[in-house]
Amino acid sequence: MGAAQPGGDTGTAYERLAMLHSPTDRASAAAAELRARMDFVPLDQADAVIAVGGDGFMLDTLHDMLEAQRVLPVFGLNLGTVGFLMNRYRASGDLAARIARAKPLAVSPLRMEAVTQAGETEVSCAINEVSLLRETRQTAKLEISVNDRVRIPELAGDGALLATPVGSTAYNLSANGPILPLDSHLLALTAISPFRPRRWPGAILPDTSRVTFRVREPAKRPVAVVADQKEVRDVAEVRVEIARELEMTLLFDPGHALDERILAEQFVQ
């Protein structure tokens, strides 16, 4: 197997590739086929990773690397449903050559610090979004500050979320939030089923912003926060900002990069 060169100008060779796959039958069969065609190394010896599965598996892979504090470039192959973060799976062809031509995309996660009503602090990262959600039938009431200045004294509704450009087409879009181009250096602050102010359209913020959510009447109106898949219940305050030191690299086939998909999504009828 020859060395794979990234599609950017870094000049780094991806000579040692590891492969991870989701446990589904389709992904497992594809992984077996790839092992018959290529040589792979263990993850701790790799220069880059091939992730075979869907978007959820890609997020799991990235989170596992963040937790292990060894973040490698990842080339995803879609054997899931949507595959927004993935490349098309092909049963034939030179995968090493595809990786050599791949376009690198740098993304940074959100860092969430959540303080519970009991005074405990939980820290987690989110690649897509951080969401605050009501836990009961009671409407959630949130005070929202940006860079330590209160912008909304009280948002009443099901909750609110802060999304990265990568996550702007996920839960954020379903909540009627804006789609953000990947090179925009912006974050989407979006209300979830707002009751008051009912017509608040949300906000688009520079990605240098620090956003703080404070839960009003937390005993009566308990709120949970979710950073991608990790949930913390009964929160009192949540602080969110970009973790630039945790930058990750996704690799995409030319013409199928995520920035093009985000642009195309805005014209779907």
**pLDDT tens across 44-79, in order?**
999 999 999 999 999 999 999 999 989 999 999 999
**129 assigned ligand-binding residue:** yes
Cis check: omega of the bond before 197, within 30 degrees of 0: yes
CATH 2.60.200.30 maps onto the chain at 110-245
Residue 267 has φ and ψ, to the nearest 5°, of -115, 10
> Is the separation of the CB atoms in 140 and 226 below 8 Å?
no
Query: What pLDDT is attached to residue 262?
Result: 74
Burial class (CB in 10 A: 0-12, 13-18, 19+), 67: exposed
Distance CA(245)–CA(30), nearest Å, equals 34
Query: What pLDDT is attached to residue 2?
Result: 42
* Both structure tokens of 179: 């789609």
Instruction: Kindly give, in sequence order, each residue whose CB lies less than 8 Å from that of residue 106, ignoring residues fewer than 6 positions away.
Output: 247, 248, 249
Token match 């017509």: residue? 199
To which H or E segment does residue 242 belong? strand 235-242
Token match 């940074």: residue? 108
**128 assigned ligand-binding residue:** yes
Phi-psi region of 69 (alpha: psi -120 to 50; beta: other; left: phi over 0): left
To which H or E segment does residue 63 belong? helix 55-68
pLDDT in tens, 162-178: 999 989 989 999 999 99
Query: What pLDDT is attached to residue 198?
Result: 84
- The pTM (predicted TM-score) of the whole model is 0.85
Q: Which ranges of 69-153 does DSSP label H, i.e. alpha helix?
A: 95-101
For the chain, list residues with pLDDT below 70: 1-13, 257-258, 268-269
**92 assigned ligand-binding residue:** no
Distance CA(162)–CA(82), nearest Å, equals 22
CA atoms within 13 A on the CB side of 171: 24
> Is the separation of the CB atoms in 146 and 107 below 8 Å?
no
Token match 């996704």: residue? 250
- Secondary structure of residue 228 in the 3-state scheme: coil
| Nearest residue to 99 (alpha-carbon basis) of 127, 72, 81, 133 | 72
**173 assigned ligand-binding residue:** yes
Task: Please list the active-site residues.
Answer: 55
Token match 């599965």: residue? 53
**217 assigned ligand-binding residue:** no
**17 assigned ligand-binding residue:** no
Tell the CATH topology of 110-245. Tumour Suppressor Smad4 (2.60.200)
Query: What pLDDT is attached to residue 229?
Result: 85
CATH 3.40.50.10330 maps onto the chain at 17-108+247-265
> Is the separation of the CB atoms in 241 and 207 below 8 Å?
no
* Both structure tokens of 1: 């197997």
| Distance spanning both ends of the chain, measured CA to CA | 43
Query: What pLDDT is attached to residue 3?
Result: 45
* Both structure tokens of 5: 């060169």
**56 assigned ligand-binding residue:** yes
To the question of domain 17-108+247-265 being in CATH 3.90.1010.10, the answer is: no
Query: What pLDDT is attached to residue 257?
Result: 66
**39 assigned ligand-binding residue:** no
Distance CA(203)–CA(180), nearest Å, equals 12
**145 assigned ligand-binding residue:** no
